[in-house]
């Protein structure tokens, strides 16, 4: 019988010090994996590594900005020197702020694309030499904006759509090496920074919750469990897939929350320095 057990496997979670990504790192740790996390904030890295070790996992981490390819190369080399080849890579670093296109500076648009899209490419390219062959699994953390237009999210929509196309293209290029790659689209997840920004009032949060067919918000564990499945032998023939973990939210759309968000965004000043 196939089981979800990552004992002896090496898992790297980029962006793994907060929110959904930290939940993913902790879940892999609970299932026996050695876990490495990375983010820009050294203190968050240290705190997360300590928390993972408290769960009984071997853990390490490094500080890197996904926009800085060389910092990723150096950090991943340290992880591999300590743990060995990477069995599971989760690329989850992301940036976002709500802004209407006419109030968003070109630099603001570029900043999100550089983190979400270019950053994803940097992570995958830097990790490629260190992935176990055959058997490695890559999971890119995408977003509903990849497939559904959203008010105030032109930058994220463009970037995350690109992330999913990277997933599909590298599935074609790297599959012959025995490397699987998939994307996960988290829906509305309780208590995350993304939800605080996109549904900043209790009323908007309730509207978003009501628009989910399952009538509840997700929790980080929902996304983490999907990642466990995708990285496990249970999904050994799942490749190049974009999997929504959203309670059916993409079926019902974003219109309720967007209708309340747009007036707030129009009242906000332009973000020239973003």
In 3-state terms, what secondary structure has residue 267? helix
CA distances for 205 relative to 77, 123, 185, 199, angstroms: 42, 32, 19, 5
Mean pLDDT on 210-236: 95
pLDDT of residue 253 exceeding 90, the answer is no
Angle between helices 119-127 and 154-174 (to 10 degrees): 20
Mean pLDDT on 160-169: 98
pLDDT of residue 258 exceeding 90, the answer is no
pLDDT of residue 192: 84
Q: CB-side exposure of 46: number of CA atoms within 13 Å? A: 3
Specify the pTM.
Answer: 0.92
Pairing of strands 180-186, 242-245: parallel
Mean pLDDT on 22-49: 98
Integer Cα distance of 30 and 232 in angstroms = 14
Q: In this structure, which topology does domain 10-267 adopt according to CATH?
A: Rossmann fold (3.40.50)
pLDDT of residue 274 exceeding 50, the answer is no
Copy the structure tokens of residue 48.
Answer: 């997360």
């Amino acid at each position: 019988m196939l089981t979800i057990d990552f004992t002896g496997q090496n898992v790297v979670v980029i962006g793994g010090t907060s929110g959904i990504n930290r939940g993913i790192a902790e879940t892999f740790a609970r299932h026996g994996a050695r876990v490495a996390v990375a983010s820009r904030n050294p203190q968050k890295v240290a705190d997360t590594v300590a928390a993972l070790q408290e769960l009984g996992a071997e853990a390490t981490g490094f500080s890197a900005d996904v926009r800085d390819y060389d910092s990723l190369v150096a950090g991943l080399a340290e992880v591999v020197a300590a743990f060995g080849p990477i069995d599971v890579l989760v690329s989850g670093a992301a940036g976002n702020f709500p802004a209407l296109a006419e109030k968003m500076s070109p630099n603001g648009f570029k900043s999100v694309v550089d983190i979400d899209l270019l950053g994803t490419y940097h992570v995958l390219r830097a990790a490629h030499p260190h992935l176990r062959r055959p058997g490695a699994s890559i999971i890119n953390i995408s977003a509903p904006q990849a497939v559904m237009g959203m008010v105030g999210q032109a930058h994220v929509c463009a970037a995350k759509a690109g992330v999913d196309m990277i997933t599909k293209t590298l599935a074609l290029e790297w599959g012959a090496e025995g490397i699987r790659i998939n994307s996960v689209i988290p829906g509305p997840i309780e208590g995350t920074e993304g939800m605080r920004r996109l549904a900043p009032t209790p009323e908007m949060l309730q509207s978003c919750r009501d628009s989910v067919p399952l009538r509840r918000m997700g929790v980080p564990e929902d996304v983490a469990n999907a990642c466990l499945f995708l990285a496990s032998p249970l999904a050994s023939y799942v490749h190049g897939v974009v999997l929504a973990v959203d309670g059916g939210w993409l079926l019902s759309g974003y219109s309720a929350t967007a209708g309340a968000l747009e007036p707030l965004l129009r009242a906000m000043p332009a973000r020239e320095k973003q």
